A and B are shown apart, each in its own frame.
Chain A
Amino acid sequence: MSGRTPLITNTKCECGHQNPVGTVLCEACGKPLDETGNSSENLEMRYDGVARRSQRSNPNVIDLVWNFFSSVKIAIYLIVLTLLGSMLGTIFPQESTFLNIDASTYYKEQYGTAGHIYYKLGLSHTYESWWFVLLLVMIGASLVICSLDRVLPLYKALTRQKIRKHRQFLTRQKVVLVTEMGEEPEEWVGRISQPLKKRGYRVITEGGALLAEKHRFSRWGPYVIHIGLIIFLLAVLARGLPGLNMDQHLAFPQGEVTPIPDTTFYLKNEKFTVEFYTEAEMPEEFRGKKVLPKLYETKAVLYECIADCGDPTRTPQLKEVAAHDIQVNSPLSYNGLKAYQFDYDLTPVLRSVQPELKNKVTGEAYGKFKLEMKNPQRSFEAGPYTLTLKEKYMDFGLNESGQPVSKTPYPNAPAFLFLIKGPGLPADGQQYFYFPKQVDKVQFQQEGINDKLGGADRFLELEVSSMQDVDFSESTAYLNVRVDRAMPFVWIGAGIVMLGLVLGFYWQHRRIWLTVQNGELILGGHTNKNWFGFRREIVSILEKVDMVVDEKSLDNGGGQA
């Protein structure tokens, strides 16, 4: 845009004011500077005809970079490119929408070659890719620089307005009235001030010249929008900082206090409930065909660690800080941390059993003890007998060489090897294999193993007498735990944008200049929109000073909107 400015220009106006390079209308009197002929076209009133800050006669490198970002054309290209880039990201689901996939194979399997190319191009994480972030950064830079480049000169121009304007400035506005005037200039100007003020105009007079202006603040609307957008962008950028954003999907087995990684919080799932609609509650066409969930609910208690946190040698001390029955769209919320219902698993997990040591010959019971699956006690007393836990297998199985091993770390088929000492047993004790689950007892032949270990005359047996002695975690609730501390700033930014939009949309900056001299009234008017309303307002103001003007005659062309 600065290309239009010739290399050497005489920027001094005939009124004596020295204007900066790039000025369209003289800063003082408003005379058009860029042309010599007596053109009668409408004036370019953008930024009141002042030069933007970046317009210079011989720009250096910094100026060139500055000019690049200050161009509205560039800003529009950037926005269009960003929109196109965003569209690319919507062709296939983004990686971030999946929890557990191997992206390098997933896209190929799911979407074929197109998916593979999509992944290879890095479009499976479009919004985190360097070029997308670069575009956003450039839009941010453009917002700041465009605004600064225009708002400061505009502010200067609007605060230093001269009242008496060049005749050409007035007659080339979009609203113009030139008519004969018999009255004394100052008296008439004084008369018209009253109805103008009544209409909310601020009026300044200087002899036979007058400037009436209202709702200038509406001009700042776009810049307020820009400030809001910048806050918005910075907030989004700040989400990358540690601690400001977290989004995890975690499993919470019922009844266990489970730590939430990267926080000092622990969450306990006290009870998870899932309810389904009964056949009677469902519409006819679904009956027998669908299973529809009615309720997912996790009764959750949130704890905060207050001491001994993060020290693996100690047990953290917890304090309850919040409790909530988490349902879909009703998360537990505490200090910016939110836990949403996400998934569930109804597979029961064995937590502990309380077997009883019995004499299978006499039926005598020696006592119960609690055997935890995780971190069990190592020795137990039952009557006169001492049981020492020697080995423990969470998911019992045999390896290739026939040795007992745990196949997984999960208590699917727990097995325990005890060494029992006491009356009637060999001095170095008797080994005893114990499978808490009945299915495992049968499958792995507990009897047979123990007969081998203790001989046929062994008389001790571990038994669970009732289900009350078995502790299960009935189900596992999966919760989505989120922290988004940048979110308030995103809202503030969006709020400021809204404010800017309201400022710019619901008010118009209206100005009326007029001079009365040599028996002639010259009136020029400018508004940034709603020219129709503006002309009606001028007509009704002129009526108040007994001057009848046809609304259409004010139209100097161009002011249709």
Chain B
Amino acid sequence: MGKARKPVQIVILLLVVLLGGYAIATSVFGGDGKPKEGSKAPAFELLGLDGKAHTLDEYKGKAVVLNFWGSWCAPCVKEMPALQAQWEKWKDQGVVVVGVNVGEDQMTVENFVKMVNINFPIVMDPGRDAVRSYGISPMPTTFFINKKGKVDSIHIGQLDLDTLDSQIGKLVGP
């Protein structure tokens, strides 16, 4: 009995540390489940305007600018030209701009894309699944996701050309 004592003690203390560490870690870092700067960008699978399903995984190895928008949201409409300009500038350097339409139907999205004349990939989130997993409340909200799939920064509100340029530069830069 005396000899078995120590390993038993160590095993039990280890279990306590493991379980306790897990419990405390989830309470500290788990929080509300919304991604923060530095955390992993949540996966999504959404229907694109091209009729195919798109996931975050397919952009692995690329920096992703994930923009949540709606046709009824005025600042979203205003920042579209800036997004388009930056998409054209950076697309050959491993950057992809993805627009996530929130809660609208295909026709509205198609018409909008034609009207504002953008050609970066657009996916639709009619059930607001990605909105939920990304914890979006005001729009527009833009997530800058680095090549490792981690959230580099989050921008809430309208983006201008310069901010967008410097943020993308940060994603691509060393």
Contacts and interface: CB of A to CB of B under 8 A. Distances in A.
Interface of A: 53, 62-63, 65-66, 128-130, 132-134, 136-138, 140-141, 144-145, 148, 152, 234, 237, 240, 259, 261, 310-313, 374-376, 378, 389-392, 394-395, 399, 405-409
Centre residue among A141, A389, A395, A408 by max chain B CB count within 10 A: A141
B135 to A, nearest CB: 13
B53 A311 contact: yes
Nearest to B13: A65
A394 B6 contact: no
A345 B94 CA distance: 47
B174 to A, nearest CB: 35
Contacts of A406: 71-72, 108
Contact of A129 (B9, B27, B47): B27
Interface in B68-106: 70-72, 74, 102-106
Contact of B23 (A145, A240, A376, A409): A240
Going nearest first, the 6 A-B pairs with the smallest beta carbon separation are A137-B20, A312-B47, A141-B16, A375-B105, A406-B72, A133-B27
Nearest to A102: B137
A237 B23 contact: yes
Contacts of A62: 6, 9-10, 13
Contact of A407 (B1, B20, B27, B72): B72
A391 B27 contact: no
Nearest to B33: A242
Nearest to B31: A128
A134 B19 CA distance: 11
A394 B23 contact: no
Given A313-B47, A375-B107, A394-B72, A133 B53 contact: no
Given A261-B132, A312-B46, A409-B70, A133 B107 contact: no
27 contacts: A62-B9, A63-B9, A66-B13, A129-B27, A132-B27, A137-B16, A140-B19, A141-B16, A141-B20, A144-B16, A152-B1, A237-B23, A240-B23, A240-B30, A261-B129, A261-B132, A311-B45, A312-B45, A312-B53, A312-B124, A375-B105, A375-B106, A389-B107, A392-B111, A409-B70, A409-B102, A409-B103
B77 to A, nearest CB: 8
B46 A394 contact: no
Main secondary structure on B side of the interface with A: helix
Contact of A133 (B6, B23, B74, B124): B23
B72 A66 contact: no
A237 B53 CA distance: 36
A375 B103 CA distance: 11
Contacts of A145: 12
Interface SS of chain A: helix, strand, loop or mixed? mixed
Nearest to A65: B13
B117 interface: no
A376 B72 CA distance: 18
Contacts of B132: 261
Contact of A392 (B27, B45, B108): B108
Interface string B123-149: 010010100100000000000000000
Contacts of B104: 394, 409
B39 interface: no
Contacts of A407: 72
Nearest to B54: A312
B43 to A, nearest CB: 11
Contacts of A144: 12, 16
Contacts of A408: 72
**Considering residues B8, B13, B51, B52, which has the most beta carbons from chain A within 10 angstroms of its beta carbon?**
B13
Given A137-B23, A140-B19, A312-B45, 8 more contacts: A129-B27, A130-B27, A141-B13, A240-B23, A375-B105, A375-B107, A406-B72, A409-B72
Contacts of A390: 111
B84 to A, nearest CB: 19
A408 B107 CA distance: 15
B5 A53 contact: yes
Contacts of B22: 237
A145 B30 CA distance: 28
Interface in B6-62: 6, 8-10, 12-13, 16, 19-20, 22-24, 26-28, 30, 45-47, 51-53
Contacts of B12: 144-145, 148
A266 B147 CA distance: 35
Contacts of B53: 311-313
B149 to A, nearest CB: 19
B145 to A, nearest CB: 20
Nearest to B47: A312
Nearest to A405: B72
A407 B108 CA distance: 13
A399 B71 contact: no
A237 B51 CA distance: 42
A399 B75 CA distance: 12
Nearest to B44: A312
Nearest to B10: A62
Contact of B108 (A152, A237, A394): A394
A406 B108 CA distance: 10
Most buried by A among B19, B23, B51, B107: B23
B27 A137 contact: no
B79 to A, nearest CB: 15
Given A66-B9, A259-B127, A392-B107, A310 B24 contact: no
Contact of A310 (B8, B19, B45): B45
Nearest to A20: B2
A414 B146 CA distance: 40
Contacts of B72: 394-395, 405-409
Nearest to B123: A312
A110 B33 CA distance: 26
Contacts of A140: 16, 19-20
Nearest to B52: A313
A62 B7 CA distance: 11
Nearest to A237: B23
